[in-house]
Amino acid sequence: MTETTKPLLAALKGGHPDRTPIWLMRQAGRYLPEYRELRARSKGFLDLCYSPDLATEVTLQPLRRFDLDAAILFSDILVVPHGLGQTVWFAEGEGPRLDPIRDAAGLAALDPERVTSFLAPVYETAARVKAALPEGRALIGFAGAPWTIATYMVEGGSSKDFLNTKRWAYGDPDGFQVLIDLIVDATVRHLEAQIAAGAEAVQIFDSWAGALDEDGFDRWTVTPIRSIASRIRAAHPDLPIIGFPNRAGTLYEHFVRNAGVDAVSVDPTWSVEAIATRLRPHVAVQGNLDPGRLVAGGPDLTRRVRKICDRLAPMGGFVFNLGHGVLPPTDPGHVAQVIAAVREADAARV
């Protein structure tokens, strides 16, 4: 099978592969007992991300268990601020923490030139995964989008209202632009290094895009992602680029017209009909099962998967996924149920 016939890559370019490709955001992680076992033996989450032997194993775990069409590199979006020189740690049970950066003095300490040497173990993982992938499966690389990365860098961790970041972005846009430009530069280097190591598609996660207003979304989500996408595309014209402007509502339509991506990952609030008529005419689409349905299971889970596939798969340019990441309480048996339902939808069409 040649590279271009891998179902995931064909679908992301708008094609009609033989089978509907499926992968799941956060497909490696705490819902898998084999992940929890390996994680308990690691020194910490970041240590796991920077240990190529362990990270390779964790990346491949979901593909050993399930009939998935892609592996996503096991890493985190916060390795980019870490590589820039910011202090980042994961407090057990508390999520990510960073020493916040709120002004020009904080920016002066960050160095984009350091990112790819610091993150060399991540690229080593990508190369090892690529060499071990089963036939027909693709390797996805990823990064956080500049806006989402900036929220973590400025807030010092997760946040509800992003007030420190918004005060800076809306109150001093030219100053905040310096931070965004720095993240754009670091992100391009980080994605380029993943591609050089073997990534065949990349996804840019803008998890907090839905916190911005229309003008903020244009300047801090669409424009930086377009500049990353155009720089990646200049070097790799055929490599699919997926954007994920999570929970951006009606602004998704602006995104698919202007962000310069090949595909969009769609959050669970979108109806299948609106995906088909408002997004799919512009880009390939990926999504959008509610991760809560994957926790609940039951016949409604299968029904919802069928509804998504029956409307979107015949259009081509469709990748089945969740609308956000797999949740830790998910029963792995429900993942197998979803994949079987996607395959049954394909079989019902031929």
State yes or no: is 247 an active-site residue: no
Token pair of 70, please? 């892609």
Considering the complex, state which of residue 142 and residue 252 has its C-beta at the smaller distance from ligand CP3: 142
Size of the site for ligand CP3 (CB under 6 A): 21
Residue 76 as a binder of ligand CP3 (CB under 6 A): the answer is yes
Token pair of 19, please? 């089978």
Shortest gap between Cβ of 9 and ligand CP3 (angstroms)? 18
Residue 97 as a binder of ligand CP3 (CB under 6 A): the answer is no
State yes or no: is 97 an active-site residue: no
Shortest gap between Cβ of 49 and ligand CP3 (angstroms)? 8
Alpha-carbon span 227 to 184, nearest angstrom: 8
Q: Which residues are annotated as a binding site?
A: 26-30, 76, 152, 207, 324
Select the residue interacting with ligand CP3 from 77, 153, 209, 275 (CB under 6 A). 77
Cβ-Cβ contacts under 8 Å for 41 (sequence gap 6 or more): none
Q: Which residues are annotated as a binding site for substrate?
A: 26-30, 76, 152, 207, 324
Shortest gap between Cβ of 240 and ligand CP3 (angstroms)? 16
How many angstroms from the chain centroid is the CA of residue 233?
18
State yes or no: is 303 an active-site residue: no
Select the residue interacting with ligand CP3 from 54, 72, 126, 186 (CB under 6 A). 72
Q: Which of residues 287-306 bind ligand CP3 (CB under 6 A)?
A: none
Residue 95 as a binder of ligand CP3 (CB under 6 A): the answer is yes
Per the DSSP assignment, residues forming a β-bridge with 285 are 264, 318
Residue nearest to ligand CP3 (CB): 207
Residue 243, SS3? Answer: strand
> Strand pairing of 241-245 and 201-206?
parallel
Considering the complex, state which of residue 224 and residue 302 has its C-beta at the smaller distance from ligand CP3: 224
Q: Which of residues 4-33 bind ligand CP3 (CB under 6 A)?
A: 25-30
How far from 87 is each of 53, 117, 146, 229, CA to CA, in Å?
24, 17, 18, 27
* CB contact burial 258-272 (16+ within 10 A = b; e otherwise): ebbbbbbbbbbebeb
Q: Choosing from 19, 65, 76, 311, which is the catalytic residue? A: 76
Alpha-carbon span 288 to 280, nearest angstrom: 13
Alpha-carbon span 42 to 172, nearest angstrom: 42
State yes or no: is 76 an active-site residue: yes
State yes or no: is 31 an active-site residue: no
Binding characters for ligand CP3, 200-219, by CB under 6 A (x = yes): -----x-x------------
Taking each helix axis from N to C end, the angle separating 33-41 and 52-65, rounded to the nearest 10 degrees, works out to 170
How far from 200 is each of 38, 72, 195, CA to CA, in Å?
27, 10, 7
Instruction: Point out the residues that are catalytic.
Output: 26, 30, 39, 76, 152
Q: Which residues bind ligand CP3 (CB under 6 A)?
A: 25-30, 39, 45, 72, 74-78, 95-96, 142, 158, 205, 207, 325
